[in-house]
Structure 1
Amino acid sequence: MGAHSDLSPAREETVVEMVARIGGMVPAALDAVRAAAGFLGRWKAIVANLEKLWACLPILSSHLGQLETYDNALCRELLQSVAETLAVTTDIAGRCRAPLTAGKLQLRSSIDAMAVRLDVNLRDCELLAKIGELYNDASSSPPLDDTSTCVQELPRLLAWLQMSHTEAKNLALDGLLQALHQDEKSVVSILDDANVSAMVQLLTASWPMVVREKAATMVCHVAGSCCKDLLVSQGALVPLIRLAGSSSVVGRQKAAVALHHLSSTSYSAAWVVMSHGGIRPLVEMCRQKRGDSVSQSAAAGTLRNISVASDFRQALADHGTVRVMVDLLGRDDAVLESKEHAAQCLRNLTAGYNGDELPQAVLSEGALRALLLYLGDNDNTHEAAVYAIHNLVRVISTSSEGDTTMKRLAGEQGCVPLLVRTMLEHESKDAREVAVEMLASLATYPPNAKEMNKDDKCVAGLVQLLDPIRYSTANKYAIQCLLSLASTNKRCRKLMVSHGANGHLRRLSDLNVQGATELLHRLEGGRLRSLFSSSKQ
């Protein structure tokens, strides 16, 4: 029997016994630390944490019966780690006896590492004790429905999230993501600095990718709520940028969406994205053919947010943002939301023109043609594109090379027929007016005027815009364009008259609309010369 007893497996120590054993180790560790020489400030902080740990153990022990199976397993691992930390603490403190001579630097490093480990153990013990209290409170509550149960579980899940154990964090994220789908408002309302900080820390490369992806998914959900400023203040932007450039498809997508939300919060948030290398991965997401439409749209939206600040626009251009936005407008595989972000980004990049080269570069990349094609395909989403075209009008009309290079470039890119079509066919009054404004600017370059003269519908449409009853702000641009056309082509003048331009011009002249009298004299003068010429024959 004795031999048989010796071969039987040893009984596993229970968690209650582990707590009791650790409780006996703390006084020895305290005595050793208090007797240690040197590094008095560090030892004083360690004594304080040991005392807190000692006070926490009875609380933890009283709640052990309330813990579920998983929490008990976690508690066992935690207590084993605490026991090891106490043993190391006693050992290091025992080596610090006066007088200290050699190896001070190495000894100080060992003390610092041990202090960090003790701090983590203390925090985990406090969190596990808190989980036990939550179970105790829940056991005395009446049965709840699924949604209420989800809400009741949130404090426990958030406690797991802050523990150092990887599996605890992993399971916490699973539970929190499920809770978000059931009751997002309740989850968001309970988050505080510590919870958000714990989530943000899980975005860093020190954690397994599966954990990073779940944390990014959680942050992505929260970033769309009222927690944007909290996420930014807890440093979420930089790890999200790194994740956006990673090989993980899920991580890239969630990071892109979160960056889209967070970059809209403030100038400083946009600056962090730009200054920490965020533009490059975002541009790459937009450039990918047949890529993830969610990531593409979010990336384009983030670049749009950054372009709001004039300080950042040149940096965006330097990273190829203009070309990417122009391409997005013309791509069949790009979703409408991506194209709208692209139009808004181009609008921002061409805003506030004062002679700098960036808006000219936007024009040279084919932005005007792309915006016009986009306008033609989307009658209901035109505002950003119209404003962008309006900005390009200003670029052409105020550029020092406006009479030649910029107008020639727009003509060579095939913009004149597209502008004519927009003026004649678009449902939006704003789109038609900006089209005729651009035509008026381009018409002063003879090759462009020649192309307009080839299209009888262009002249007829311009004459219709002279009607002061139907239109108002477009009158002056139509007059400017017709003046340019009338000065170079006799046939065009006859076409204007045949479509009733003179009657409109007389009314506009009475209203003192600029250019109306001059155009009327040109048309009537040509007509009188034609009559005199006929009478002489």
Structure 2
Amino acid sequence: MHTSTPTTVTPPPPQTLLDLINGVLSLLLVSSLSVRSFIGRWQVVRSKLISLQSSLASLSDSPHWSQNPLLHTLLPNLLSTLQRLHALSAQCNDLSASAFPGGKLLFQSDLDIASSTLSSLLHDLDLLLRSGVLHQSNAIVLSQPGPGSEKEELVFFIRDLFTRLQIGGVEFKKKALESLLEILSDDEKSAALVANEGNIGYLISLLDLHHQPTIRDCAVLAVSILASSASDESRKIVFEEGGLGPLLRVVESSSMMLKEKAAVAVEAITADADNGWAVGAYGGVAVLIEACRSGSLATQAHSVGAIRNVAAVDDIKMALVEEGAVPVLVNLLVSGTASAQEKAAHCLSILAGSGEYFRSLIIQERGLQRLMHLIQDLSSSETVEHVLRAITSLAASESISRILSSSTAFVVRLGELIQHGNLKLQQLSASLLSHICPSDGNKRAIGSCMSSLVKLMESPKPAGLQESASDALVSLLSVKTNRKELVRDEKSVMRLVQMLDPKYEAVAKKFPMMVVTALLSGGSGGCRKRLVAAGAYPQLQRLTEMEVAGAKKALQRLAGNRLKSIFSRTWRE
């Protein structure tokens, strides 16, 4: 049985196509002037034809236009559309009753479709001309510029790439996106250049669900890289071109991999405080909370990061509560990755500091217990900081403060952070310690951190650290054994006395005097003796002469014991 082999029609050469197009265009320009029907519509078509004539002239002037593969599709489509319009113009010049066999409404629809197609092709042709790629030999197959390439070369390649993306079919778009991803992956610095030279609005439009899946997947990856790159400029352009809404839709309904990439981009965009409002405008609060609830671990971490970024926006705070964010955030303290735990703790600290209503919600969801448990095992100083801030805000409630003060494990952890944490953690721990006022037994359990508190009193930064350290130390010195332990620490006593020196200006005198007064409050002769031996008496005497508040009282306590000793020794002699 003989089977015929299908014949492949070879399209005419580009120059032949251009000649045919110009021929039909000339006829159409003439016939469009003499139409007898739908005159208004033909005036619109004629203005497009005149624009096309100008664009074709520019095309002819481009030295390498015939080598561009995009024209292999564009020119045949353009010829077909012009031929269709020419046939329609002939019908409009026919006054016979049979001019519109399908009726005028059908003809009108056909004319509108042809006119719209012409507009689209004219747009593509103008885009190709503006890109400048027709002035470069074989532009469409340029190899990607290497890392050491000139900026001009990379700019040209990016423009060519976006031209392919906007004009070409699926294969052109796919190859263009692959090249774009290669550029963005090879060099982070190229993100700003791509954002400025490329049509980011069109790239974002490819995130729509209706686009071919491979195209959409590549577009999501590209937008994610642009939004999350080190370039503030590229991130800003993605947002200004309307990228946040489509990215949230990808987070809401897409594959796991794309959700993760989109969540990365949303977190990066919302890191700019000025963009926070848009999450609510795009309905993103519910989307992000659901992603935290049911997304992959990576999606959870980036989604809670985005929530953390916008949690300080007043309108969004209430939306978070209404959409059930608090239990989800509390749960992430236990089930999330280290990154998700940190961001969830940070978010809870923001909400806890926003008023009693938010604090009560966190407490109802057992947020305090989760935070207290989390702080025992954490090694990340950033997460510990957010946990401490959240607990500090919750401790504004007297009942919570009592729970914290009675927890030996928690108080001991504060003591450890005062001894071994960074300055922020030391300050937060000291401040919280002085606020909750632990039981005497718990104060004795952390007596070893007192020398660290004395050292912190010498630190001028961060602001408030000296006050927090001295307040915590005074609280611990209400216990007799702690007073005895501190005065036995010669270095700490010498530090305190040095801080009393009027010439030592790094520390406000009220802080060391608070501590000295606390040491002398129990009437222990041993404390007085060690302070006098370290030189506290003359320092307090000078401060008294300078009329520094509290100095006279501290001096009297110190001097009373000293004078008694003198009288006793004189009597024995």
The AA in structure 2 aligned to 1:349 is L
Does residue 135 (structure 1) correspond to residue 136 (structure 2)? The answer is: yes
Give the alignment partner of residue 77 of structure 1, picking from 73, 80, 89: 73
Kept in 2, the 8 Å contact 1:437–1:474? The answer is yes
The AA in structure 2 aligned to 1:346 is L
Does residue 231 (structure 1) correspond to residue 233 (structure 2)? The answer is: no
Query: How high is the TM-score relative to the length of structure 2?
Result: 0.69
Counterpart in 2 of 1:490?
none
1:173 CA drift (Å): 0.8
CA shift in 2, pair 1:134/1:261, >3 Å: farther
Does residue 126 (structure 1) correspond to residue 129 (structure 2)? The answer is: no
Gap runs ≥5 in structure 1:
1-6, 444-448, 487-492, 528-537
Query: How high is the TM-score relative to the length of structure 1?
Result: 0.73
Aligned-partner Cα distance in 2 for 1:131–1:168: 18
The DSSP-based 3-state class of the residue aligned with 1:52 is helix
Does residue 301 (structure 1) correspond to residue 305 (structure 2)? The answer is: yes
Counterpart in 2 of 1:420?
412
The AA in structure 1 aligned to 2:410 is L
Does residue 256 (structure 1) correspond to residue 250 (structure 2)? The answer is: no
The DSSP-based 3-state class of the residue aligned with 2:137 is helix
The AA in structure 2 aligned to 1:433 is Q
1:421 CA drift (Å): 1.4
CA shift in 2, pair 1:265/1:25, >3 Å: farther
Counterpart in 1 of 2:277?
271
Give the alignment partner of residue 164 of structure 2, picking from 160, 166, 171: 160
Aligned-partner Cα distance in 2 for 1:409–1:89: 83
1:232 CA drift (Å): 1.6
Aligned-partner Cα distance in 2 for 1:227–1:416: 50
Aligned-partner Cα distance in 2 for 1:49–1:417: 79
Counterpart in 1 of 2:427?
433
CA shift in 2, pair 1:162/1:467, >3 Å: closer
Counterpart in 2 of 1:362?
362
1:160 CA drift (Å): 0.7
Kept in 1, the 8 Å contact 2:252–2:291? The answer is no
The DSSP-based 3-state class of the residue aligned with 2:467 is coil
The residue correspondences of 1:435-454 to structure 2 (distance < 5 A) are 435-443=429-437, 449=438, 453=441
Aligned-partner Cα distance in 1 for 2:13–2:238: 37
CA shift in 2, pair 1:14/1:104, >3 Å: closer
Aligned-partner Cα distance in 2 for 1:345–1:115: 54
Does residue 241 (structure 1) correspond to residue 244 (structure 2)? The answer is: no
Q: RMSD value over aligned CA atoms?
A: 4.6
Counterpart in 1 of 2:398?
403
CA shift in 2, pair 1:343/1:86, >3 Å: same
Deviations 1:24-44 (A, max 9, x none): 322344345444578776544
1:202 CA drift (Å): 0.9
The AA in structure 1 aligned to 2:117 is R
1:379 CA drift (Å): 5.1
Aligned-partner Cα distance in 2 for 1:34–1:415: 92
The residue correspondences of 1:459-470 to structure 2 (distance < 5 A) are 461=449, 465=453
Aligned-partner Cα distance in 2 for 1:32–1:499: 107
The AA in structure 2 aligned to 1:135 is Q
State the identity %: 22
Aligned-partner Cα distance in 2 for 1:378–1:155: 49
Counterpart in 1 of 2:12?
14
Aligned-partner Cα distance in 1 for 2:301–2:341: 8
The AA in structure 1 aligned to 2:121 is N
1:252 CA drift (Å): 1.4
Does residue 86 (structure 1) correspond to residue 82 (structure 2)? The answer is: yes
CA shift in 2, pair 1:80/1:477, >3 Å: same
CA shift in 2, pair 1:94/1:478, >3 Å: same
Gap runs ≥5 in structure 2:
460-465, 501-508, 527-573
Kept in 2, the 8 Å contact 1:416–1:439? The answer is no
Counterpart in 1 of 2:346?
344
Kept in 1, the 8 Å contact 2:348–2:390? The answer is no
The residue correspondences of 1:7-156 to structure 2 (distance < 5 A) are 12-16=10-14, 17-35=16-34, 43-57=42-56, 59-60=58-59, 71-72=68-69, 74-90=70-86, 112-128=112-128, 133-136=134-137, 148=149, 151=154, 153-156=157-160
CA shift in 2, pair 1:211/1:453, >3 Å: same
Kept in 1, the 8 Å contact 2:159–2:198? The answer is no
Aligned-partner Cα distance in 2 for 1:145–1:435: 52
Does residue 283 (structure 1) correspond to residue 327 (structure 2)? The answer is: no
CA shift in 2, pair 1:417/1:75, >3 Å: same
Deviations 1:473-499 (A, max 9, x none): 23453267459xx6xxxxxx4544553
Kept in 2, the 8 Å contact 1:420–1:435? The answer is no
Kept in 1, the 8 Å contact 2:31–2:89? The answer is yes
Aligned length: 485
Aligned-partner Cα distance in 1 for 2:19–2:72: 13
Give the alignment partner of residue 467 of structure 2, picking from 442, 457, 473: 473
